[in-house]
Each structure stands twice: as structure tokens, then as C-alpha cells.
Amino acid sequence: MSQPQEKTAASAGEMTSESPVEATTAANAPSGPASARRSLLPGNTLLRHLVILAVCAVGAVALLELTSPFRNSQFAVLAYYAIAAGGLTVLTGLNGQISLGHGALMAVGAYTTALLLGAEEPLPLAVVFLAAVGITLLLGAVVGVAAARLHGPYLAGATLALAVGLPGLALYYDDVLGGEQGLRVQSPRAPEWFQGFIGFVSGNNATTTKWLAYVGVICLLLTFFLLANLARSRVGRTWRAVRDEEVAAELAGIDLGAWRVLAFVVSAACAGLAGAVLGVVIRLAAPSGFTIVLSIALLTAIVIGGLGSLLGALLGSALLVFLPPFVTNLGADLGLNNTEAAQLAPFIYGVVLIIVMIAAPAGFVGTIRLRWLQARGKRAARTAQG
């Protein structure tokens, strides 16, 4: 009984003594076993995640059926942001590598989707998505091999160059990729069975928008389910070891480079899927949609949530979706014109990045979790003394 408590206390103490808080602190916090013991969830990780997945799926259906078509489309946007942010969480949070190239990787997914769906006889959506993931994954492997040998500012600079350079290809191959205008995406209509399903569940109108929102949310849930299992598996532990204890990990015979490449590949696959979802939801793949601001927005999402926390990535992504309309309206009320007001959101992303890094590098979720662990640690220490 007292053993797990002691463990938690020790790790909480460890974190408080680390004076300049690493941005990745949230990822260090043990989340599973300690809390699982108290809750009704099963102890087995896979089983627990399956239960959570099922609950989330039911919740998502309820959410999508109880909200307006406009909200549905917002959830679709949330889905692709969160998929990409989840992938970035693996890379930056668990493995400690930064990437500003995820916007560009999303572009690869979106363009692949646009090209495949634009064919005379388009393949099934799932196959198209898999192809988008596959191609982005391959590119991610190439980038990852280079990235594995870089760190911090070097990696940031190299991926920044990728983000600025890759859209140039769309201009160079403008006969295939559509140049500045980009490619229209022929988003598929809702299939029969989906209309039946919606009719059965809520009786709502099964529009294409609704179908795409479901596609996004399904992709999101599957991605997070896989990422959560990965993070809690031996793979996730090794990534953390590669991040925190580079030397020790290497001495233990861990091939640092290979693990970094793997993290980049997983993360790129997520970005590819996110791009594919973006493509069908926005119905356009154009260079202007994948600027450096997109990559930094994703970074903001994972930093706000706390690097390394999937829940944080989801909350951060929600902010990316719901904050811009809010602040744009606010800006319009303050007398800014439309284009000026539209810049308020990126302005806030930047300011938030700065403030979070200075004031609470562990992020929102991470800070709360740290506080909670510290409080528990103190309580445990007090009972041990008493």
C-alpha cells in the first residue's frame, strides 16, 4: 500500500529540485499506475486504453450529434490539428526533438490526398488516407535520418528551412501541383451506411460536413489510441530515456539515432494523416495553407498543453480552433479591419509561447500535474514522518 506512494513522492521531489524546468517536464510525470489504482479503470494498459477509447467514441458521437453543423466542421478542424499535435507530442515531448517542418509534412499528406481523390476512379477514402500516411512517413524517415543527428537550434533551423522550402516544389511542379492556387480536393460524399447510422442515432441530416467531421474524429481517436499505447510501452520509455539520459541510454546499448528516426517517422505519419484530413475538410491543398505559422501554431498547441501529454495536445488544439474566431471578433469590436483582426490569433500564439516558456515551462496540463504530484509527495512525506 505504501510502496506506490513513496515512489510518487520520490519522483515529485526529483522534479522540484530541477531548477530551470525543462519544457518536457510534463512528459516525466508518471500518470498511469498511480491513478489507475484509485480509479475504476482496469490495471492493464491496453485494456484501460480500450475502455477510454470506447467511452471517447460514444462521447464524440454524442457531441457531434448534439451540436450544430458549424460546430461539426469546427470539430473536424480540431481533429486534424490534434492528430498533428499528437504526433508532435511524441517527437518533441517524448523524444525531445523539435520540428518546425510538421506544417510541410501535413502539406505532403494533403497534396497526396488531393491527387489521389482527383483521379478518374478514386480509391476508397481509407486507402487514400493510408497512402497519404505512407508517403509522408517515407519523407519523414528521410528527414528523420538527418534530424536524428541534430539537436535544439540546429534541428529547429533545419526544419524551418524545410517548412520554407517545400512549398516551393508546388510552384516548381505547378502543372501537377497547381502552383500558387493549389489543388481542389474532391471530398467524398457520406456513404449509405453512414446515413443509416446517423438516422438511427439522432435522426439528424447526414451531410458531407457531418461525414467529414466523423472521418476526422475517427482518425483522431485511432491515432490517439495508438499513440497512447506507444507512449506507455517499452518504445515510449526508450524515447524518454533517449531524451533525458542520452549518455546512459547509449551505454545501455540503445541506438540513439535509430530511436530518434523512429520518433520522427511516427510523428510524420501523424502529420500525413492530419494533412489528409485537412485536405478533405478544407477541400483545398495550397501552399498558403501550410506556412510556417501552421507549424508554430502546432508547437503552441503542444506547449500550452504541456510537452509530452496527449491530453494537453488535444486541449491545445482545441484552443487553436476556438480561440481565433473569438479573438478575431474581439479585434473587430476594437475597430480592427478583417485582415488585421485575423492576425490577432497568431499574435496570441506567439505571446502564449513566450509566456508559457517563461512562467510555466511544463505547460498547462504539466503544471497542474506537477502541483498535484508535489502535494501528494508532501502528504506522503508527512504520513511517513508521523
Partner 1 sequence: MAGATSASSAAGGTATGSATAVPVLEVTDLSASYGPVKALDGVSLRAETGRITAVLGANGAGKTTLLRTISGLVRSTGGRVRLGDEDITRAPVEAMVQKGMAHVPEGRGVIAELTVDENLRVGSLFRGKVGRAEFDRVYDLFPRIAERRGNPAHTLSGGERQMLVIGRALLARPRILLLDEPSLGLAPRIVAQIFGLLRQLVDEEDLSVLLVEQNARSALSVADVGVVLNLGRVVVTDEASRLIADEDLRHAYLGF
Partner 2 sequence: MLQFVNVTLNGLVQGMIFAAFALALVLIWRSTRIVNFAQGSMAAATTFIALAIIQAGQSYWVALVVALLSGFLIGAVIERVVIRPVEGGPELNAVIVTLGLFVAIQALIAIVFGSSFQSFTTPFGLRGFTFGDTTILLTPNSLYVIGAVLVTMLALIALFRFTRVGLAMRASAFGQEVARLLGVRVGRMLTLGWGLAAVVGSLSGLLIAGGGLVYPAYMDVIIVSGFVAAVLGGLDSPIGAVVGGLLLGLVLSYVAGYLSPALVNMSALAILVVVLLVRPGGLFSSSTARRA
Rounded to the nearest angstrom, the gap between the alpha carbon of residue 19 and the centroid of all alpha carbons in its chain is 28
13 contact, one of partner 2, partner 1, none, CB 5-8 Å limit per kind: partner 1
Check binding of 327 to partner 2 (CB under 8 A). no
Residues 250 to 309 in contact with partner 2, rule: CB under 8 A = 291-293, 296, 299-300, 303
Q: Which is nearer to partner 2, 6 or 18 (CB)?
A: 18
Classify residue 65 by burial, with Cβ atoms within 10 Å: 0-12, 13-18, 19+.
Answer: middle
- Told to check if 158 binds partner 2 by CB under 8 A, we report yes
CB closer to partner 1, 141 vs 381 = 381
Determine if 4 is a binding residue for partner 1 (CB under 8 A).
no
CB of 24 to partner 1, least distance (A): 19
- Other beta carbons less than 10 A from residue 371's beta carbon: 12
Judged by CB, which is closer to partner 2: 202, or 343?
343
- Least separation in angstroms between residue 13's CB and partner 1 is 8
- Residue 235 near residue 254 (C-beta atoms within 8 A): no
Q: Are 185 and 280 in contact (CB under 8 A)?
A: yes
Give the gyration radius of the chain's Cα atoms.
22
Quick one: 83 or 163, whose CB is closer to partner 2?
163
- Least CB distance to partner 2 at residue 296 (A): 5
Q: How far is the CB of 157 from partner 2 (least distance, A)?
A: 4
Binding partner of residue 303 among partner 1, partner 2, none, CB cut-off 5 to 8 Å per kind: partner 2
Please give the size of the binding site for partner 1, defined by CB under 8 A. 3
- 19 touches partner 1 (CB under 8 A): yes
Partner from partner 2, partner 1, none contacting 116, C-beta within 5 to 8 A by type: none
Compute CA distances 8 → 28, 29, 243, whole Å: 12, 9, 21
Q: Supply the minimum distance, in Å, between the C-beta of residue 331 and partner 2.
A: 8
Span near partner 1 by CB under 8 A; candidates 11-19, 321-329, 346-354, 368-376: 11-19
Convert residues 343-382 into a mask of x (bound to partner 2 by CB under 8 A) and - (unbound).
Answer: xxxxx-xxxxxx--xx--x---------------------
Q: Of partner 2, partner 1, none, which one does residue 17 interact with (CB within 5 to 8 Å by kind)?
A: partner 1
339 binds partner 1 (CB under 8 A): no
CB proximity list for 279: less than 8 A, separation 6 or greater = 109, 110, 111, 113, 114, 117, 132, 185, 285
309 and 177 Cβ atoms separated by less than 8 Å: no
For residue 83, the tally of other CB atoms under 10 A from its CB is 33
Which residues are within 8 A (CB) of 274 and not within 5 positions of it... i.e. 6 or more apart? 80, 81, 83, 84, 87, 106, 109
- The least distance separating partner 2 from the CB of residue 160, rounded to whole angstroms, comes to 6
The yes or no reply on residue 69 touching partner 1 (CB under 8 A) is: no
Can you say how many angstroms the Cα of residue 147 is from the centroid of all Cα atoms in its chain? 19
Q: Which of partner 2, partner 1, none does residue 186 bind to, with CB < 5 to 8 Å depending on kind?
A: none
Say which amino acid occupies 22: E
Q: Site residues for partner 2, window 68-97 (CB under 8 A)?
A: 92, 96
Residues found near partner 1 in the complex (CB under 8 A):
13, 17, 19
